[in-house]
C-alpha cells in the first residue's frame, strides 16, 4: 500500500472538530432507530439499523477533484498507546483484532490499535467540546428572625444567605447553581477532548 506524505509543517496543529464528520461526503446525523426481527419462539428483538454502517467511515477529502475512495492517504507518526494498568476483562484493548466486522465489506477481521500522534501530527486528531452543563445564578437573601430560607446557607463573610432553593448544586467558588452537571469522562476530565487515533484503512476516519 503506497502512502502519501503531507508536509506537516504547513498544516494547522488544531484537532479536527468531530462535527466535521457531518460535512459532505458525510456521516448521517439522523438518530436512526433499530430494526425489529421476529425470532419466533425467542420473541422479537431489536437490532441496530444497518443504515448506521453507511458509510462505515467518514472520508478525508484532501483533493476535491478526486472521488472519496481515491483520496491520498496521510502519514501519521506516533506510538501505540500502552495497555492501561487498571484494565479489566471487559476493557477496550488499545491493540486488538476486531471482534466483529461487517461481512460484506471485510474479507477478514481488522487489526486496530490506538495511536498517540507525535506533536507534528496532532492535526490528525479529532476533538469535540463535551457538554458544559447548565448553571444559573444563586439566590441571595438577607436572613430574618428564622434564619436562612430553605435551600440556602448563611455566608458569615458577606453576612447573607446564599444557595439554590429552586434546585441544583451550589458552586461556592462561583456562587452559581449547577442545574445540569457537565459531561465528565471516567478519568475525571471535562472540556475539550482530543481523541486518540484508531488505525483503520487509509483515507478514512470514524464517523
DSSP string, 63-91: -TTS-GGGPPP----EEEPPPPTT--TTS
| Domain-embedded: residue 70 | yes
| Domain-embedded: residue 154 | yes
Residue range 9-25: mean pLDDT, rounded: 63
Are 12 and 77 in a shared domain?
A: yes
Q: How far is 96 from 87, CA to CA, in rounded Å?
A: 14
C-alpha separations of 8 from 120, 122, 152, 197 in Å: 6, 9, 55, 16
Are 98 and 125 in a shared domain?
A: yes
Are 113 and 144 in a shared domain?
A: no
pLDDT at position 15 is 67
The pLDDT confidence band at residue 97, using thresholds 50, 70 and 90, is: confident
Are 17 and 57 in a shared domain?
A: yes
Are 156 and 173 in a shared domain?
A: yes
pTM score = 0.50
10 Å CB burial of residue 41 (0-12, 13-18, 19+) is exposed
Are 194 and 174 in a shared domain?
A: no
Strand partners, 204: 59
Residue range 67-84: mean pLDDT, rounded: 82
pLDDT at position 162 is 92
The pLDDT confidence band at residue 161, using thresholds 50, 70 and 90, is: very high
Are 143 and 126 in a shared domain?
A: no
Are 157 and 75 in a shared domain?
A: no
| Domain-embedded: residue 144 | yes
Are 17 and 63 in a shared domain?
A: yes
| Cell, residue 204 | 478514512
Q: How far is 202 from 162, CA to CA, in rounded Å?
A: 56
C-alpha separations of 46 from 28, 99, 113 in Å: 20, 20, 30
| Domain-embedded: residue 152 | yes
> 29 CB contacts (<8 Å, ≥6 apart)?
22
Are 66 and 149 in a shared domain?
A: no
| Domain-embedded: residue 30 | no
| Domain-embedded: residue 146 | yes
| Cell, residue 139 | 439566590
Please tell me whether residue 114 adopts helix, strand or coil conformation.
strand
Domain with 156, as residue range(s), is: 134-180
| Domain-embedded: residue 140 | yes
| Domain-embedded: residue 153 | yes
Provide the domain count of the chain.
Answer: 2
Residue 57 has pLDDT above 50, yes or no: yes
Amino acid at each position: 500500500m503506497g502512502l502519501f506524505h503531507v508536509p506537516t509543517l504547513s498544516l494547522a496543529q488544531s484537532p479536527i472538530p468531530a462535527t466535521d464528520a457531518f460535512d459532505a461526503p458525510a456521516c448521517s446525523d439522523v438518530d436512526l432507530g433499530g430494526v425489529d426481527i421476529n425470532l419466533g419462539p425467542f420473541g422479537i428483538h431489536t437490532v441496530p439499523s444497518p443504515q448506521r454502517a453507511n458509510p462505515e467511515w467518514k472520508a478525508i477529502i484532501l483533493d476535491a477533484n478526486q472521488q472519496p475512495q481515491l483520496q491520498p492517504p496521510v502519514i501519521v507518526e506516533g506510538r501505540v498507546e500502552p495497555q492501561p494498568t487498571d484494565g479489566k476483562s471487559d476493557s477496550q484493548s488499545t491493540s486488538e483484532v476486531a471482534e466483529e466486522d461487517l461481512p460484506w465489506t471485510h474479507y477478514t477481521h481488522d487489526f486496530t490499535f490506538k495511536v498517540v500522534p507525535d506533536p507534528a501530527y496532532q492535526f490528525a486528531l479529532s476533538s469535540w467540546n463535551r457538554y458544559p452543563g447548565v448553571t444559573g445564578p444563586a439566590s441571595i437573601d438577607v436572613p430574618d428572625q428564622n434564619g436562612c430560607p430553605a435551600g440556602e446557607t448563611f455566608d458569615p463573610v458577606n453576612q447573607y444567605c446564599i444557595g439554590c432553593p429552586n434546585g441544583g448544586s451550589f458552586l461556592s467558588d462561583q456562587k452559581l447553581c449547577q442545574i445540569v452537571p457537565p459531561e465528565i469522562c471516567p478519568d475525571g476530565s471535562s472540556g475539550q477532548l482530543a481523541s486518540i487515533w484508531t488505525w483503520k484503512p487509509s483515507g478514512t476516519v470514524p464517523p
